[in-house]
Structure 1
Amino acid sequence: MTSTKLTSFLSEKLEGLKSQGLYNEIDPVEGANGAIITIKGKELINLSSNNYLGLATDERLKKVAIDAVKTYGVGAGAVRTINGTLDLHLKLEEKLAAFKGTEAVISYQSGFNCNMAAISAVMDKNDAILSDELNHASIIDGCRLSKAKIIRVNHSDMDDLRQKAKEAVESGQYNKIMVITDGVFSMDGDVAKLPEIVDIAEEFDLMTYVDDAHGSGVLGKGAGTVKHFGLQDRVDFQMGTLSKAIGVIGGYVAGKQELIDWLKVQSRPFLFSTAVTPADVAASTEAIEILMDSTELQNRLWENSDYLKKGLTQLGFDIGNSETPITPCIIGDEKATQQFSKRLYEEGVYAKSIVFPTVPKGKGRVRNMPTSAHTKEMLDQALTIYEKVGKELGII
């Protein structure tokens, strides 16, 4: 028999979320997650995917994935430390190290796993972590798992970072101190002040950790935020994902050889989760090779991003201070945000509402993710719909 306590808890909490406009409905996509998607038989312009470069549906990646399945099968068959490490995994890691400009790379099953793995493998209860207040949930959970003292730093506030670094060092309480930040912040699209962060870290002998999930494939000719600033020799941990611009699944940490050696024997997701499938590894490697050979996809992404931003701004939408293709339309009220997203859907645009707890209360928005796969005609159609719905709801 189901526990009455559980039933009561779930009913109360779910109803509470729905009444506040905070309940998230999941919309299954019928077919590929490209520039145009189909949901419940309805074709929609897709502005919610992280598939920045259109690689998730790229024919070159499909081919190598199919070939890998024919040669290696559908699964790796074991964790990496037993016999789940295929030569494909090593090839991917070597390619990623060359791409990121580091000595070595370790790959994981997801970007979330990277932050859970790497932070807790290096930091412990005798350490402290200076963490930007807008860091991704996976960073927050990785920090908590480590049991280190978490010191919240005001978003991209270098004076606050310097002051808190100074206090932490001078307190003498901690064996090690790390500063950790997103490279690109996923809800607002702004870029971390990495040159200043690294300068402060070197001043106080802090370790540096950059989660570049939304910067990899987008900035630095595709190699990410760290390389964009030329800091690959001065950042200790570069975390990246293979699930967004790369178009597949997985994540990785890039850094010095000794760091990677340590993570291979101490990071729990590496030790206790079955390795990424052969098809996904082969497709990821192909994607990295494409990005190393050409910036064509990035160029098209940025053209589309600039075009959409300009159009939304001219219509009167608040798109915040994004410096990347991530383009929020900030509505504010949670229920109004949900209604705005619903009306966009009805008119033919899929732009998912994002509300608390993903963003602070009163900061609800729809987040637009233009990609290299969108055409100008698609973006023009989306802008026409934005104008209609924005005026209808009194947002513009």
Structure 2
Amino acid sequence: MSWQQRITDALAVRRGKGQFRQRQVFQPHSGASLDVNGQRYLNFAANDYLGLTRDPRIVRAWQQGAERYGVGAGGSGHVTGYGAPHAAFEEELADWLGYPRALLFISGFAANQAVIAAMMAKNDRIFADKLSHASLLEAAALSPATLRRFAHNQPDALAALLTGADGGETLVVTEGVFSMDGDSAPLSALHALTRQHGGWLMVDDAHGIGVTGEEGRGSAWQQQVQPELLVVTFGKAFGVSGAAVLCQTETADYLIQFARHLIYSTAMPPAQACALSASLACVRQGDAQRQRLAENIALFKAGAAARGFKLTPSLTAIQPLIVGDEARALALADTLRAQGCWVTAIRPPTVPPGTARLRITLSAAHRPEEIQRLLEALNDARG
């Protein structure tokens, strides 16, 4: 089979299953709306949970950083790319989250891949929640360690795997808030089990940081747990991009030596680190935004229940409406867009077969009347 035939066949399979992905050119208008092809929509698909993507304090910090430091780092952090703004933000972040060290990465995907690739060796074991993010599961599958997946958010299932574990090191992997289901991991129980068996817990809290816990410190802080490895990302509630790994000093030193994604990638622009410092200040002072978000979530859930919609048990900004059939999910998304509401249909392989859904996300930037408009559009869309 030729390369071209392989590509053609793979695309045909995706199209035939209703799983073909297409990108759109978006023009953000505000935290709650966007423009596509000259048409304005209410935005219920983004992860901008606190409405910070266009916050003038963060924009100004990035502009000032660019004026002072330029628009790029110019090299890996191991060469010439690690500047004062990076070091300052790492210190601020570590202090805020109660860890000795923080290491910045260009993305959450890179951070997850780097940590697992650097930490795991042959005869080690990775026990991952079966619904963990693709970056975690892919890294685990590619590592020399043995990967086993446990039933979603089921500590008893993890306990059974841990009891049978023998030899090598053990890493338990989960998300804090699951990106597609919106539910929260039982981190306290998972951490207790992991430590009981001499393992380490790694938590990707991309969707919890900034939103849950005191000052938005995230899922682990909320559950009074300090995982050995905590990954936080800045493209959701922080409104920017990038990620960091929080850990002990010696672990950080080890990752600096062996994390290839850190060593061989150009560092994030110093101006971005300036913006992240400003964003952290906004997040820490963001109780009002978190309260508005909580009110919006409650309003949506109550309205959906009153109209007979069956949502998942999520209490977070991620409110999935499970449809099941992929074509039906796409049709519902199209119908909502025709009524001015941008909602994304999520289909396999991103989610398990038979669980295609509308992934509805809420923000502190949404007004109550906009949420009511979404509810009415959903009601009309189902016919």
* TM-score, normalised relative to structure 2: 0.97
Is residue 355–residue 364 contact of structure 1 (8 Å, CA) maintained in 2?
Answer: yes
1:210-225, aligned counterparts within 5 Å? 210-221=203-214, 222-225=216-219
Residue 339 (structure 2) aligned to one of 334, 347, 361: 347
**Aligned letter for 1:150?**
L
Q: In the alignment, what sits opposite 1:114?
A: 111
Compute the displacement of 1:12 (Å): 2.0
Is residue 85–residue 271 contact of structure 2 (8 Å, CA) maintained in 1?
Answer: no
Is residue 116–residue 143 contact of structure 2 (8 Å, CA) maintained in 1?
Answer: yes
**Aligned letter for 2:223?**
F
The whole-number CA distance in structure 2 between the counterparts of 1:249 and 1:164 is: 35
Compute the displacement of 1:348 (Å): 0.6
The whole-number CA distance in structure 1 between the counterparts of 2:342 and 2:258 is: 41
The whole-number CA distance in structure 1 between the counterparts of 2:16 and 2:337 is: 21
Structure 2 residue runs of 5 or longer lacking an equivalent are none
Is residue 124–residue 147 contact of structure 1 (8 Å, CA) maintained in 2?
Answer: yes
Is residue 31–residue 52 contact of structure 2 (8 Å, CA) maintained in 1?
Answer: no
Q: In the alignment, what sits opposite 1:231?
A: 225
Q: In the alignment, what sits opposite 2:77?
A: 80
Residue 51 (structure 1) aligned to one of 48, 52, 62: 48
Residue 199 (structure 2) aligned to one of 190, 200, 206: 206
User: Do structure 1's residue 148 and structure 2's residue 133 form an aligned pair?
Assistant: no
Is residue 32–residue 57 contact of structure 1 (8 Å, CA) maintained in 2?
Answer: no
Q: Which runs of 4+ in 1 moved over 4 A?
A: none
Compute the displacement of 1:306 (Å): 1.4
1:204-353, aligned counterparts within 5 Å? 204-221=197-214, 222-232=216-226, 235-353=227-345
1:361-380, aligned counterparts within 5 Å? 361-380=353-372
**Aligned letter for 2:143?**
S
Q: In the alignment, what sits opposite 1:182?
A: 175
The whole-number CA distance in structure 2 between the counterparts of 1:178 and 1:292 is: 30
Q: In the alignment, what sits opposite 2:57?
A: 60
Superimposed CA distance per residue, residues 254-311 of structure 1 (whole angstroms, 9 cap, x where no aligned partner): 0111111111111011100001012221111111112223412211111111111221
**Aligned letter for 2:361?**
M
SS at match of 1:328: strand
Superimposed CA distance per residue, residues 188-223 of structure 1 (whole angstroms, 9 cap, x where no aligned partner): 111001111111112111111111011111111311
Q: How many residues align?
A: 382
- Structure with greater helix percent: 1
Is residue 53–residue 297 contact of structure 1 (8 Å, CA) maintained in 2?
Answer: yes
Q: In the alignment, what sits opposite 2:186?
A: 193
Is residue 92–residue 285 contact of structure 1 (8 Å, CA) maintained in 2?
Answer: yes
Compute the displacement of 1:33 (Å): 6.2
Superimposed CA distance per residue, residues 162-211 of structure 1 (whole angstroms, 9 cap, x where no aligned partner): 1110101xxx3x32111111111111111001111111112111111111
Structure 1 residue runs of 5 or longer lacking an equivalent are none
Compute the displacement of 1:241 (Å): 0.3
The 10-residue stretch of structure 1 (347-356 or 283-292) with the greater mean CA deviation from structure 2: 283-292
